Structure formats: structure tokens, C-alpha cells
Amino acid sequence: MNPEPQDLIVRTVCRRLAPFIQLFGLYVIMHGHSSPGGGFQGGVILAASFILLTLAEGAEMVQRRFSAATLTVFMSAGVLLYAGIGVVCLVLGANYLDYGVLPFLEPRSVGMLVIEIGVGSTVMAAMLSIFRDLLTF
């Protein structure tokens, strides 16, 4: 599978559309705790925007923007962020992943936001790196 660059109309529309899709993906991640959504869904939307760009612009774009190493770092960093916030809670004297002790105004809300970001990072990078490897398979 090696998508060729599409014609000008398709490329322009996809390039104009992608930032809005990415913004929506970030919104879904950030608002996971107050509206439907969360890290899993937002991460997939973010990855889908890059996949759309790749299908329009050709395989070279995603390979240039995201090296395999970068994606692996994002993938691991998400899990690490999730597990790390649990360890922070542990250090602050509560149970693992018991966000109540975090030093914020609404600690549980903030804790959930952090783990949603971690989940989003992992899901996005996992989708993208599988897609990236399939491109050059």
C-alpha cells in the first residue's frame, strides 16, 4: 500500500479540514470528564486526521513528520503518564491512582484529565505507527 498524492482539490480540502479534525480530537480528550468522549475516542480522531492527510498527500508526509521512534516515544509516554500519576498519588500518601491527594483545586478532575491525555497519546501513537508500518510493508 502506497498512496499517491491526490489531485489539487482533494489535497486542499483535506489540508483545510485536518486542523479542525485535530482541534475536535483535542476537545474530545480535554472534555472527556464533562461530556461524552475521552482519551480513547479523542486519540482515534487525532490519528484519523493524520491518516486522512496521508491518504491525500501521499505516504511521504507521515513518514517525514513522524519517525517511528517519535511514535514509539508517544506510545510509551502515554502509559507512563497514566502509571506515573498513580505513583505520584502513592508518593503523596494515598492509594495507587487515588487522585484525591493531588495538590489542585479539583484534584480528581485534574487526575482524570491527566490520564485521559495519557490514554489519548497512547491510542493516537499506536494507530499511527501501525498505519505507518503498513504503508511501507
Partner 1 sequence: MKSLHLVVTAVTGLLLVLGSLDMPDTGDRRSPPATNVSPRYIESGFKETAVPNMVTAVLADYRSFDTLGEVTVIFTGALAVLLILRSGREEEDS
Give whole-number Cα distances, 106 to 2, 39, 89, 110, 113, in Å. Answer: 48, 19, 14, 6, 11
* Per-residue binder mask for partner 1 (CB under 8 A), 55-84, x = binder: --------x---xxx--x--xx-xx--xx-
The whole-angstrom separation of Cα 90 and Cα 94 is 5
The span of 2-10, 22-30, 33-41, 47-55 binding partner 1 (CB under 8 A) equals 33-41
112 belongs to the binding site for partner 1 (CB under 8 A): yes
The whole-angstrom separation of Cα 32 and Cα 40 is 10
Residues that bind partner 1 (CB under 8 A): 32-36, 38-40, 63, 67-69, 72, 75-76, 78-79, 82-83, 86, 96-97, 99, 106, 108-109, 111-112, 115-116, 118-119, 122-123, 125-126, 129-130, 133-134, 136-137
